Chains A and B, each alone.
Chain A
């Protein structure tokens, strides 16, 4: 195979969606090509049209979508093929893996059944032969104990394993091109690294071209030969990966590259008072059990953790999903029943009930990850952010509350006129600002930030990090910053706690943790997040 042969070329592709608000043009006449065996990255933030480009090429658009232009695969325009002709290409010559490993497999069929289906369909093998092939594929993607896994159902596999199965299904018929739509975004850091390494290795073995659709420049840097940068449905820059990183031309590319949050947080003075303290905090969940059902399973989500948060300090709590970091944050705010000692200021709140906690709530605030789910859709922004004042400062008049809302919105960098509008009219970043304003309006002392930037694009993340830092400086706030994103934690926190399976594996000042991690687990996390060595150096 000639390495420079172009096998897929997208010419003047336009994608339109008919919506209630009229026709929306998601992709506005772009040109992209893929050569045999190379790795191409299509980079952009949410809404850039990067996914819709490839969905259109595969005829997988939602029913209200429509694509025009040419998607030329080895001399055939995929957009004009009949459905049966198209199904000879999809899954056989070009295949695709998706972002959502949890939902991309059919929950009702076993792994084996789902793997065998495309093999039999495209290669016409008998059941026994197809089963052999499926086993080979599971071994290829390093699924342990493949014989047994053939009989497993998707819900019995972890996210990383499911993504491996997806990859096996996509590679079942030795395709020319593998389109990977954010294949690692929903996975934990260490799993992300494993999946990317697997893809690079498979590419070396099998020689297919890979198209990465991603917002993660780390992936691009590690894997891509060539890059297309997309924004608002257009390609704004394209070129060799090296060149784009070293010498970006377009302002948007430069902004993306600079979007990694930077700076460090100085620790508070040593004599700063301890505001929130937990000693031997333990949270357990009961699973199952009950009438006639036998003994419940006890899950220790937070296992004897001690923490001291000083005034003006930010403690970063780092860990992968299931490590207990969010549970710890909630337990410290007494939102969950827990054992152990919890002190706020000089008060012991270990046993405080809801009634007793209520006056303290105003000083202990919480901001959630999901800027879409955490704001009531039926209240105006003004009502959302002043609701806490009704409880904590009931003497305020409507006019005074309105003034506070204006002040709070200004403080988080939003137009005060926004208070009469509804949450759905705002972007993800703006909603997160609203959620922060809702906490700040009460003038809290401690704010628990639970993955506040994880659902946001990098460039927006950076703005939110800067906003949080400014608010901290202005009001001497203490933050408990819960995140799996080490780049953000590094910019926010002066002290870090690394958690795994409910326990602290390592803690210390941020710079010490980053420059000299002691625990193996921390080292693995760091390597997965920060190391930019390329997995594959293609010719």
Chain B
């Protein structure tokens, strides 16, 4: 197993290199540069700035410099927020995004699995139809609708939650964004779980368990649920990577200082280093979480063995 993890980490290096290279050159293909939007910037100052950041060097040299800095853990300065390096921006924003994302993910997994299981055990009955209806609603209503509705009801009408802001990480400030982020995920997990649980309940070894007179609890939880959870485990990898790296919609609507906004804003402003930093962070999260999922898979399913 350790050998497998090591090998997977080794193969992550070329993967990352390809991603970084492609992102680096793709963003440069887009017209404009980091200092084009600044109004009133005299050509002399602009030239100065570009010279200072090495933007006048040939592209390949910039690429080599960037890779060298990256290897030393240096993401470089942000062009548009000159008071901060990209590293500092992440150090401030990432913990916020991770807190919100992880809470939403855990909520989604727990509630989604529970709802999906209840639906599967009552297939084609009222409880099942209710869960399906809820799941359909959850995955069709966009977050930019859910978020304002939560602000309106819980914040303005009932005055239970703050309307927005981070409040230095106060619990009440997190509820709105977590719910918004979790709802569509709950819907997806519930649907996945329902399907795989129905299939699991039909399998031959469940018939064996029933024929041996085992209790319903054992049949459902010990035997059926464990088999049904495998697709959820697979889903968790990419979902975790996406949730933990922040959401632009949720962070903008609730005014939370996460990193979700950086990707879009940086791309629009041609803030090359910030774009690259975001790409590297998301790629790293994706690779690591997929690896974690594969390792967890082996723990749940003994047929999966890596060596």
> Hey, which bits of chain A sit against chain B, CB under 8 A?
58-60, 62-63, 83, 86-92, 95-96, 98, 100, 103-110, 117-118, 121-122, 153, 155, 166, 169-170, 291-293
Q: What chain B residues lie within 8 Å of A153 (beta carbons)?
A: 302-303
**Contact A292–B211 (Cβ < 8 Å):** no
Q: For the complex, is B36 an interface residue (Cβ under 8 Å from A)?
A: no
Query: Of B123, B208, B211, B302, which is within 8 A of A155 by CB?
Result: B302
What is the distance, in angstroms, from A295's C-beta to the closest C-beta of chain B? 13
Q: For the complex, is B39 an interface residue (Cβ under 8 Å from A)?
A: no
Instruction: Give the number of chain B interface residues (Cβ < 8 Å).
Output: 27
Within 8 A of A (CB), among B207-261: 207-216, 218, 222-223, 226-227
Q: For the complex, is B159 an interface residue (Cβ under 8 Å from A)?
A: no
Complex: chain A residue closest to B205, CB-CB: A106
Contact A91/B302 with A108-B227, A117-B218 known, Cβ cut-off 8 Å: no
**Contact A105–B7 (Cβ < 8 Å):** no
Contact A91/B227 with A104-B205, A107-B205 known, Cβ cut-off 8 Å: no
> Hey, which bits of chain B sit against chain A, CB under 8 A?
7, 10-11, 123, 202-205, 207-216, 218, 222-223, 226-227, 300-303
Query: Of B210, B226, B301, which is within 8 A of A90 by CB?
Result: B210
Q: What chain B residues lie within 8 Å of A105 (beta carbons)?
A: 205, 208
Contact A103/B203 with A91-B213, A108-B227 known, Cβ cut-off 8 Å: yes
Q: What chain B residues lie within 8 Å of A293 (beta carbons)?
A: 7
User: In the complex the two chains form, what is the Cα distance from A107 to B300 in whole Å?
Assistant: 10
What is the distance, in angstroms, from A468's C-beta to the closest C-beta of chain B? 33
Query: Of B123, B218, B301, which is within 8 A of A107 by CB?
Result: B301
Q: What chain A residues lie within 8 Å of B213 (beta carbons)?
A: 86-92, 118, 121-122
Query: Of B208, B300, B301, which is within 8 A of A104 by CB?
Result: B208
User: In the complex the two chains form, what is the Cα distance from A59 to B212 in whole Å?
Assistant: 12
**Contact A107–B212 (Cβ < 8 Å):** no
Query: Of A83, A95, A104, A169, which is within 8 A of B204 by CB?
Result: A104
**Contact B210–A60 (Cβ < 8 Å):** yes
User: In the complex the two chains form, what is the Cα distance from A86 to B218 in whole Å?
Assistant: 15
**Contact A106–B207 (Cβ < 8 Å):** no
**Contact B214–A108 (Cβ < 8 Å):** no
Contact A87/B215 with A107-B205, A155-B303 known, Cβ cut-off 8 Å: yes
8 A-B contact pairs sorted by A residue (CB < 8 Å)? A87-B214, A88-B213, A92-B213, A98-B208, A108-B226, A108-B301, A121-B213, A155-B303
Q: What chain A residues lie within 8 Å of B218 (beta carbons)?
A: 117, 121
User: In the complex the two chains form, what is the Cα distance from A121 to B213 in whole Å?
Assistant: 8
User: In the complex the two chains form, what is the Cα distance from A261 to B218 in whole Å?
Assistant: 47
Complex: chain B residue closest to A113, CB-CB: B222
**Contact B208–A90 (Cβ < 8 Å):** no
Query: Of B123, B207, B212, B227, which is within 8 A of A169 by CB?
Result: B212
**Contact A291–B11 (Cβ < 8 Å):** yes
Q: What chain B residues lie within 8 Å of A88 (beta carbons)?
A: 213
**Contact A104–B207 (Cβ < 8 Å):** yes
